[in-house]
Structure 1
């Protein structure tokens, strides 16, 4: 039986690890998680924050997805959006999901990320 999503994997181009670290750690406030040595040899980075795990793997012919994205729950969405903006990330608000406040942003390689705050699933 499925119990949770362990992580979400996004792709990134070779050599982008420094930019990814700057964004996911300094902008989003995540922590870099160590990769097992056999996987670290492939490149890429892993990040986590309060049970959220994002893996960024190197893809030689990388092209960011235009539609696919992880939806990341946040608290204090206004302050979080201000944090991203203050650190140079673009924030695009979207009001099309009833019961939620949400915005989109992109990491430095163009991966789309959704940030949302609202009623928990199953509530009202």
Structure 2
């Protein structure tokens, strides 16, 4: 009996904000949307593919996303360009606590979800 990996992680956005979230995650970040099973279509939200991992973007009201340290960390190439791209779109960039062997920064999506961008140093 073994846990062999992580299948998906879920974040939430406010009910009715799917198009704004698609713009951020699919267009700005370039993540591909994948089809949800028919049995879950009526629940709102959408799914993304990040490498071999799925990120499920669910809908939920009544939650203050900026009050939590919970986050997803996106492993990236060319972290400087990611920082620049997000700054150009007026997202606040925060430097994370240093981790030896990595460059990283944090930001929040339009809904307050904390995101980390991380790249191993060469």
Q: TM-score, normalised by structure 1?
A: 0.85
Equivalent positions of 1:1-124 (< 5 A) are: 1-64=2-65, 65-118=67-120
The offset of 1:113, in angstroms, is 0.6
Alpha-carbon shift at residue 95 of structure 1 (Å):
4.7
Segment drifting more, 44-53 vs 71-80: 44-53
* Runs of 5+ unmatched residues, structure 2: none
Gapped regions of structure 1 (runs ≥ 5):
120-124
Tell me the distance in 1 between the aligned counterparts of 2:11 and 2:89.
22
> Stretches of 4+ moved more than 4 A in 1?
none
**TM-score for the superposition, normalised by structure 2:** 0.86
Q: For the aligned residues, what is the CA RMSD?
A: 1.6
CA contact (8 A) 1:12 1:62 kept: no
Count of paired positions: 119
